[in-house]
Amino acid sequence: MKKLLIAAIVLLFAINTQAQILTPVKWSYAAKKVSATEAVVFFKATIDEGWHVYSQTVKDGGPVKTTITFTPSKEYTLDGATAEPTPVTRFEKAFSMNVSFFEHSVIFQQKIKLKAGQTVVKGQLEYMTCNDHQCLPPDDVDFSIPVK
């Protein structure tokens, strides 16, 4: 009976260990008013060592590129495209092509023109993350960023 109990505990521990979800990317958000009618919204990815997040400019046939989609609002308009720093670009065998990505951290920035003094910028961010051994399925993250 004691051996059966120990075996059950070991099995439950093994199942629990297998069920852990990898989350090598943590997202944070902020907004800064630069004038009464303009603001910048920031999307920061903090990326675990050995992992990377793809650029917004990945070509078709490669990994899922980072895409930031904004929910339409009467309180603001987007001012240009979402900016990103210069990515690392290299050939990845898994995709048989050059791909651009970010390691450690990256901050995407979107300028907006305000039609109201305060607003909340909402939308969804889609991204994919890989390391040298595996890629995780693309992930969608909803965001809601107050602009005061």
pLDDT tens figures, 14-58: 444 445 689 999 999 999 999 999 999 999 999 999 999 999 999
Return the biggest CA–CA distance within the chain.
73
Domains annotated for the chain, with CATH where assigned, are 24-147 (2.60.40.1250)
Distance of CA 138 to the CA centre of its chain: 9
71-103 tens-digit pLDDT: 999 999 999 999 999 999 999 988 999 999 999
**What's this model's pTM, rounded to 2 decimal places?**
0.85
d(C-alpha 12, C-alpha 6), whole Å: 10
